[in-house]
């Protein structure tokens, strides 16, 4: 690198080192036969030494946050993820590169060797690559939230040749969907292990290509610091010339289902969704339960996302859009006519909701389409191809759903920040959009195996779906919350769905939510009395349940001495103020 006054955009780097017992075996490298963990550490040390020396030389590196992490299982089999930086703090975290440069790295004895920036504990336990990479995904996604203009994050994984299973592949795919103005997240896999025969996924070259296979550059038993160097310093803005509002029948007719929290009435359902199948767009929102008029806010967010198509990648544009919705929301709830207690709750608490939006671009000659998604909070997208879960967004595991997600708020003075994802889909691909309770259960079911029969959600009846939810809720195997599920199929792949529907009666689904719950002896409780909130619409060969918008809930009046609400999912710390 040549000295330059230009300041590169901020970035983040993760060095992930496997520390399981298998990493103690020798592997053949161009530097001799050495234990796999020694090779991994040498790679990390050489790269960090180069970064630190570059900063010391006065070169414009930019604000780079670094995490050096090791992973293994504990004696009890629990995945462990810990920092390997030489400051002695084991907490997995990002640290500014300037602070890393000041840490007490120990010099090696041989001249010209890098200092010991990665402090390795004993290699023991089993590999847990999927769990470790899921934690890295969470760290990177949090770092990227509100930072679309940053350079592409870089994840460098030093691992063995075993344990890179389907779950790992899905998380790696999900990582490379996280988008920035300078391209998607970059993942480099350094595999140290027996070179012959190579793992099936490594046969055929340096890339794991094809639909749903592990993405990113792969190296076997060797390393060149130039490769990760290029990954972090090749910075080129990418122009988005896609006509997102001209998708032209992007989705086949969609399937949507919703259910209120068990024990509530349909009028108390506070999720919302909006669909524009022909325009290739959909949005789903989850109203926060302890706000006021959250149903109206969630409906407004989802509907106006489709009509306005805001640029959620630009924080200024996003917050301008949200500010306009705040004014409209006050008009929609007739604020001036509310009694004083409701006005007080509007002023002190307001409404809040998570938001997930999905858009398709026009199809190319082969029917493939670019897609992009944005998220504020934890409503989730599942991308499925040929019955296989390729990737998810913005979370990748059931344990990543917390009680305080980011929210879009109706109250002024709070900044809205989003995260972006992008990819290319094919005809017949499915996108499943789900609010947090349903999404968490889908992750749990997918982890238990076997593979979910995702197309089942296109034909299951509303009553069957709700009965399954009630079984899971009654058994405390699922959070009792409002539930919404939207199934979208990319146009051009109708043959797959038609074949499935024609043979439905002769098929046994591989797995449903309740089958995976494994709850012997638990009978489905009778569902709460529900008003008829659906009409049947004959669309093609499918009977689609089309929801009416339920009436907005009327909140209970607050007693005069009740303080402003504090609640799960609505803490003051989740959205930084302007």
Contact 199, 164 (CB under 8 A): yes
- Looking at the DSSP bridge assignments, the partners of residue 485 are 257, 434
Contact 104, 76 (CB under 8 A): no
- One digit per residue, the tens of pLDDT, for the chain of length 578 reads 444 446 899 999 999 999 999 999 999 988 889 999 999 999 999 999 999 999 998 888 999 999 999 999 988 889 999 999 999 999 999 999 999 999 999 998 888 899 999 999 999 999 999 999 999 999 999 999 999 999 999 999 999 988 788 889 999 999 999 999 999 999 999 999 875 444 444 433 333 333 335 678 888 888 999 999 999 999 999 888 899 988 788 999 999 999 999 999 999 999 999 999 999 999 999 999 889 999 999 999 999 999 999 999 999 999 999 999 999 999 999 999 999 999 999 999 999 999 999 999 999 999 999 999 999 999 999 999 999 999 999 999 999 998 789 999 999 989 999 999 999 999 999 999 999 999 999 999 988 877 788 989 999 999 999 999 999 999 999 999 999 999 999 998 544 444 434 433 333 333 344 433 332 222 333 333 222 222 222 222 222 222 334 344 444 333 333 333 333 333 333 333 33
3-state secondary structure of 27: strand
Secondary element (H or E) of residue 162: none
Q: What pLDDT is attached to residue 516?
A: 33
Q: What pLDDT is attached to residue 194?
A: 73
Distance, CA of 277 to CA of 280 (rounded, Å): 5
Q: What pLDDT is attached to residue 443?
A: 95
State the virtual CA torsion across 504, 278, 295, 293 in degrees, nearest 10: 180
Distance, CA of 218 to CA of 419 (rounded, Å): 27
Note the Cα 44 to chain centre separation in Å.
27
Distance, CA of 42 to CA of 5 (rounded, Å): 31
Helix H segments across 277-380? 294-308, 315-332, 340-348
Count the neighbouring beta carbons within 10 Å of the beta carbon of residue 78. 10
List phi, psi (to 5°) of 502. -65, -30
Q: What pLDDT is attached to residue 393?
A: 98
Distance, CA of 166 to CA of 64 (rounded, Å): 31
Q: What pLDDT is attached to residue 500?
A: 39
Cis omega before residue 394 (within 30°)?
yes
In order of their start, the domains of the chain are: 11-233 (3.40.50), 255-547 (3.60.40.10)
């Amino acid at each position: 690198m040549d000295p330059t006054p230009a300041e590169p955009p901020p970035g983040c780097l993760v060095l992930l080192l496997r520390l399981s017992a298998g990493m103690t075996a020798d592997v053949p490298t161009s530097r001799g036969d050495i234990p796999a963990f020694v090779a991994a550490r040498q790679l990390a040390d050489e790269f960090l030494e180069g970064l630190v020396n570059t900063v010391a030389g006065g070169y414009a590196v930019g604000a780079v946050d670094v995490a050096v992490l090791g992973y293994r299982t504990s004696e009890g089999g629990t995945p462990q993820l810990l920092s390997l930086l030489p400051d002695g703090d084991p907490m997995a975290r990002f640290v500014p590169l300037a602070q890393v440069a000041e840490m007490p790295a120990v010099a090696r004895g041989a001249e010209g060797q890098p200092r010991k920036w990665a402090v390795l504990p004993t290699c023991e336990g089993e590999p847990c690559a999927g769990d470790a990479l899921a934690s890295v995904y969470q760290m990177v996604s949090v770092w990227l939230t509100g930072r679309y203009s940053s350079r592409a994050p870089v994840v460098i994984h030093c691992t063995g040749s075993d344990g890179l299973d389907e779950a790992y592949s899905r998380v790696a795919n999900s990582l490379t969907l996280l988008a920035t103005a300078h391209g998607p997240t970059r993942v480099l896999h350094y595999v140290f292990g027996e070179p012959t025969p190579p793992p099936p996924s490594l046969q055929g070259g340096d890339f794991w290509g094809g639909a749903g296979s592990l993405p990113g550059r792969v190296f076997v038993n060797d390393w060149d610091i130039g490769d990760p160097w290029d990954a972090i310093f090749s910075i080129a803005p990418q122009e988005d010339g896609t006509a997102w509002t001209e998708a032209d029948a992007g989705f086949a007719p969609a399937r949507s289902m919703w259910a209120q929290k068990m024990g509530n009435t349909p009028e108390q359902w506070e999720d919302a969704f909006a669909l524009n199948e022909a325009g290739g767009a959909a949005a789903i929102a989850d109203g926060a339960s302890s706000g006021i008029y959250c149903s109206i806010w969630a409906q407004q967010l989802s509907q106006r996302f489709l009509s306005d198509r805001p640029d959620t990648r630009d924080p200024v544009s996003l917050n301008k859009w949200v500010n306009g919705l705040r004014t409209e929301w006050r008009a929609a709830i007739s604020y001036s006519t509310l009694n004083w207690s409701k006005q007080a709750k509007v002023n002190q608490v307001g409404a809040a909701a998570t938001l997930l939006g999905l858009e398709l671009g026009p199809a190319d000659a082969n029917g493939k389409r670019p897609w992009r998604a944005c998220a504020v909070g934890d409503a989730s997208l599942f991308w499925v191809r040929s019955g296989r879960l390729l990737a998810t967004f913005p979370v990748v595991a059931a344990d990543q759903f917390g009680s305080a997600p980011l929210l879009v708020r109706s109250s002024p003075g709070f900044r809205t920040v989003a995260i972006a994802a992008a990819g290319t889909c094919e005809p017949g691909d499915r996108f499943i959009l789900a609010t947090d309770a349903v999404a968490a259960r889908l992750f749990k079911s997918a982890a238990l195996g076997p593979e979910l029969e995702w197309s089942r959600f296109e034909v299951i009846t509303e009553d069957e779906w709700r009965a399954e939810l009630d079984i899971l809720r009654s058994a405390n195997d699922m959070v009792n919350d409002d539930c919404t599920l939207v199934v979208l199929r990319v146009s051009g792949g109708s043959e797959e769905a038609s074949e499935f529907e024609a043979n439905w009666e002769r098929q046994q689904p591989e797995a449903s939510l309740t089958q995976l719950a494994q709850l012997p002896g638990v009978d489905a409780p009778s569902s709460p009395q529900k008003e008829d909130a659906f009409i049947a619409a004959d669309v093609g060969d499918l009977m689609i349940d089309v929801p009416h918008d339920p009436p907005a809930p009327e909140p209970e009046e607050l007693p005069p001495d009740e303080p402003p609400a504090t609640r799960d999912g609505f803490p003051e710390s989740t959205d930084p103020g302007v």
